[in-house]
Chains A and B, each alone.
Chain A
Amino acid sequence: MAKNDLQGALDLLVLKTLAQTGEMHGYGIAVHIQQASGELLRVEEGSLYPALHRMEQSGWVRSSWALTATKRKAKYYRLTAAGRGQMEAAERNFEQLVEGVRAILQYA
């Protein structure tokens, strides 16, 4: 269950990043998460790619090869409609979880 939660969190971060940036390669996603979280969250790069691949297989993201600003080839990811739906569901779930955990912390 713990695995699911962390995986779910990574998925949510990636999906959210893609929603905000529109289109991004794996490296860019890792950098964005780190910067946007004020350096609080650092994506383990070794975990990012399996997650991206899985999300692509699940139809949440689509990918294509393109050139970066520095003229390097990179694989760019973009959110699909299913991915957007998944993101919203994951967001809601996460908020519930947080709410629940917070409620318990208040009692303690």
Chain B
Amino acid sequence: MAISRRLRNVFRRSRVSEEVEAELASHLELRMEDNLARGMSAEEARRDALLRFGNRTVTRERVVGEDVALAVGSLWWDLRYALSQLKRNPGFAWTAVSVLALGIGASVALFAFVDAALIRPLPYAKPAQLADVTENLPLFPRANLSLPDYLDWKQRNTVFRSLEVYRGEGFLLSTGSGTEPVHGADVSAGFFRTLGVEPMLGSDFRADADQPQAPRTVLLSYGAWQRHFGGQRDLIGRSIVLDGEPVTVIGVLPQPFHFALRGNAEFWRPLQVLANGPHCYTDRASHCLYGVGRLKEGVSIEQARSEMKAIAANLAVEYPESNRGQGASVLPLSEAIVGKVRPILLTLLGGAALLLVIACVNVSSLLLVRTETRQREIALRSALGASRGRLVRQIVTEAVLLVALSGVFGLAAADAAMHGLLTLVSRDMLTSMPYLQGLGLHPHVLLFAGAVCTASAVLFSAAPSVRLMKSGDLRAGLADGGKGDSGVFWRRFGSNLVAVELTIAMVLLVGAGLLGKSFYRLLHVELGFPPDHLATFDLSLPEKEYATEDRQRVAAREILRRLSALPGVKEVGTATDLAVSGNGDTRWIRFVGRPYSGEHNEVLEREVSAGYLPALGATLRRGRFFSEDDDNTKPKVVMINESFARKYFPGEDPVGKRFGDYQLTPSSIRTVVGVIRDLREGGLDEPIWPAMYVVFSQDPETSMEVLARTRGDAASLLPAMVAAVHGFDPDVATSNTTTMEGRIADSPAAYLHRSSAWLIGGFASLALLLSVIGLYGVISYSVGRRTREIGVRMALGADRGSVARMILKEAGRMIAAGLAAGLVCSFGAALLLRNLLFGTPAWDAPTLALVALALGAAALTASYLPARSAASVNPVEALRAE
């Protein structure tokens, strides 16, 4: 603990200097005593003693100064020496620093994403107690609740302190100049109390705010308050108009609050059970709510799940018609929020970590090579009195300096990479991942960066230090200049490192290959329609003005007429959900004239205008498309997809068959008029479900999505289309104007696959580059070391071909070892990846073979260059040079 004692001394200077003073005084006295004994006079004795001693104060200061010098001075000298070493070899310094900064930057940036999404707690009180509570069906693991089910769940359970529900809503906000569609949610009164969130301004909903007679109130998100109302504090208590109805703003939610399961919600209303509310508020069989509960102290998720499952099973017995097969799902809220992105983020972090390992291996081998070439310097310093400890300290200082430089550049790169990656995320994706707003170099991230840097500094100190310890006696080092055993050591150790690099590069390349192939498969999945030249946007009619079905019908017909009159528009149509928007909006159906035992025949339902399916380019298999004649004066008709026909009409012609809702309500019974080839209604990676299409004029709605097939570029027609809608009625809200291709490219499935394929692909290319450079370095170094040997061989008659073969054989061993290990590890990695793959098996032989071939070819090329230079060695010069 010499260092700590020295540092302590530095701070206890006065005490130390007193003691030194006493010691010096005793020295003078002893000298004077001797002088007197030799016969000097007292005065002479004193003068002589002082003269010999010199300046006492200076001496004292020098003694005390030793502490500071020892503690700080030597460190400073080490640092200056290290810096000059780096400066003397800028090629080495820049290579090492940039390679390492790259590795640190990539891993820190991805760790920041992992931190923001998976590590940092959700912005609620005790988030671990919160649970996502929903029903559960074989097709939908997280299926919505109906209000009657929720009320029973709430009343019967003993595991939740509170259980609340919410449902996403879109509102039309009246602004000075018209209306604007905004996102929001209806929540039960205790929703925010359950989350443990208090408004930063105003107050929370009253406990009875969700009762039908309660005054209509709304809470705003911080963003909505800033964006729509300029952050006015006196907004509280004032009235705003949502969907044509005045509601009172009672509070503003705190800025950090977000609720990712309804990520874009800005207007939060109490869920009031009013007469014109959704069916699910009264009908046990229609589902539109999600639950969130706070567990009682000491109750686990598993306990809660088993109790809710039991309650659901009881309800299924009590209400078999509506609740048969309805289970319960209880998940930690964090799982419901980030469960989907977790495997992707962890995979990406894993990829970045592998890149970091390669970077570290590369830099270690650079450092080892340098240690080899510095053998003579080290031997000299050691001969001049530097202890091994001292030499090791010098090595450590150099490693720390190197890592510190790389760390600074790495953090800067990470910061840039984070922002770059965020801009790649589509806005829709960002709203479903509000936790990414908090992305940045936060304490966790800095801690991680510190840990990475420390680990690499330890590695970079340890590798050359071990090498130093293992090197033979110093005189051998001096005499030989480090050309004896070191070459052998390096060749063995270095080739192991290169094999490790190639292994990692292979794993990353295989991962990138598999993800890339998945992405390709995903983009080329059968859609059932041509996605080009399709302009789309969302449209909603103000509910007050268009309250009746007749008005909705007339409005839709007029809007479609105006749109189809636009030059450049070939065909137009509307649908409640456009193709590729997601499996959802299902109905239970029952067939006329068939025995029914209460099973739930779940199919997708889409209300489409007569022109929608032809405009989309759907292929008719049987019967006919809808026509303008299929209106409310005619018997109800329906079209189905082939999956529907296969499942419910196997071996029969479905045209002319009839079905209705599960109660066979007379008004719900429809006749099948046509069958189309399957359209991909769900996301690109979702399976095709049975789907039914009903015609808009027989079942109108106020909100719909518009689609137009265009002659020229679809995107350039969008402004004219929106203008045409507003020409009809400026209060009709339009949003989400984009093309079908844009929708597909921005869909979560495409985004997730694309980002993971690109990122892992990027890591893999860097890994390939680094490992090939590493291989090249090791082989060239080995060739350089063996120049004399090669010269002797050639002098003894070896031809150039056999010399090149010898070097290539050495490289070939490393490459083979790396590829073999890489193949084994790739199997493991692919197995971990298999949930992220789409249409690609984890054991995809073509990918493996292609990667092995490409990597092998690149590695052989890298070793061919030094082999060629070995073959061109001039034996005479080689022997003379030594």
| Chain A residues with a Cβ under 8 A of chain B | 1, 4-5, 8, 25-28, 31, 44-46, 49-50, 53-54, 57-59, 68, 70, 72-75, 89-90, 93, 96-97, 100
Contact = CB atoms under 8 A, between A and B. Distances in A.
12 contacts: A4-B385, A25-B26, A25-B30, A27-B26, A45-B53, A49-B23, A57-B9, A74-B26, A74-B30, A75-B19, A75-B22, A96-B383
B66 A57 contact: yes
Contact of B66 (A5, A46, A53, A93): A53
Given A50-B65, A57-B9, A96-B383, A72 B26 contact: yes
Given A45-B53, A46-B53, A46-B59, A26 B23 contact: yes
Report, nearest first, the 4 A-B pairs whose CB atoms are least far apart.
Answer: A27-B30, A46-B54, A50-B62, A54-B66
Contacts of A25: 26-27, 30
A4 B19 CA distance: 27
Contacts of B54: 44-46
Interface of B: 2, 5-6, 9, 19-20, 22-24, 26-27, 29-31, 33-34, 52-55, 58-59, 62-67, 70, 383-385, 387, 475
Contacts of A1: 384
A28 B383 CA distance: 31
Given A4-B385, A5-B385, 10 more contacts: A27-B30, A45-B52, A45-B59, A46-B54, A49-B27, A72-B26, A74-B27, A89-B387, A96-B383, A100-B383
Contacts of B33: 70, 72
A21 to B, nearest CB: 15
A81 B811 CA distance: 51
Contacts of A72: 26, 29-30, 33
A53 B2 contact: no
Nearest to A12: B385
B23 A68 contact: no
Contact of A45 (B27, B65, B70): B27
A89 B66 CA distance: 22
Given A5-B384, A27-B30, A46-B58, A57 B2 contact: yes
Nearest to B30: A27
A59 B5 CA distance: 10
A96 B383 CA distance: 8
A49 B385 contact: no
B5 A57 contact: yes
B60 to A, nearest CB: 8
A1 B54 CA distance: 25
A27 B6 contact: no
B64 to A, nearest CB: 8
B69 to A, nearest CB: 8
B61 to A, nearest CB: 9
Given A5-B385, A8-B385, A74-B26, A49 B20 contact: yes
Contacts of A57: 2, 5-6, 9, 66-67, 70
Contacts of B55: 46
Which DSSP category, helix, strand, loop or mixed, fits chain B's interface?
A: helix
B385 A90 contact: yes
A26 B27 contact: yes
B212 to A, nearest CB: 84
A43 to B, nearest CB: 10
A26 B22 CA distance: 12
Nearest to A86: B387
Contacts of B6: 57
A55 to B, nearest CB: 9
Nearest to A9: B385
B34 to A, nearest CB: 8
Nearest to B16: A53
A88 to B, nearest CB: 12
A64 B186 CA distance: 82
Contact of A27 (B9, B27, B58): B27
A96 to B, nearest CB: 6
A76 to B, nearest CB: 10
Contacts of A97: 383-384
Nearest to B29: A72
Nearest to A60: B2
Contacts of B62: 46, 49-50
A16 to B, nearest CB: 15
B655 to A, nearest CB: 99
B384 A4 contact: yes
A50 B66 contact: yes
A83 B493 CA distance: 37
B229 to A, nearest CB: 69
Contacts of B475: 96
Nearest to B59: A46
B376 to A, nearest CB: 15
Contacts of A70: 33
Nearest to B58: A46
B63 A50 contact: yes
Contacts of B67: 53, 57
Contacts of A5: 384-385
Contacts of B53: 45-46
A93 B30 contact: no
A49 B24 contact: yes
Nearest to B62: A50
A22 B384 CA distance: 28
Nearest to B34: A31
Contacts of A53: 20, 63-64, 66-67
B383 A59 contact: no
B389 to A, nearest CB: 11
B601 to A, nearest CB: 86
Contacts of A4: 384-385
B6 to A, nearest CB: 5
Contacts of A58: 2, 70
Contacts of B52: 45
Nearest to A72: B29
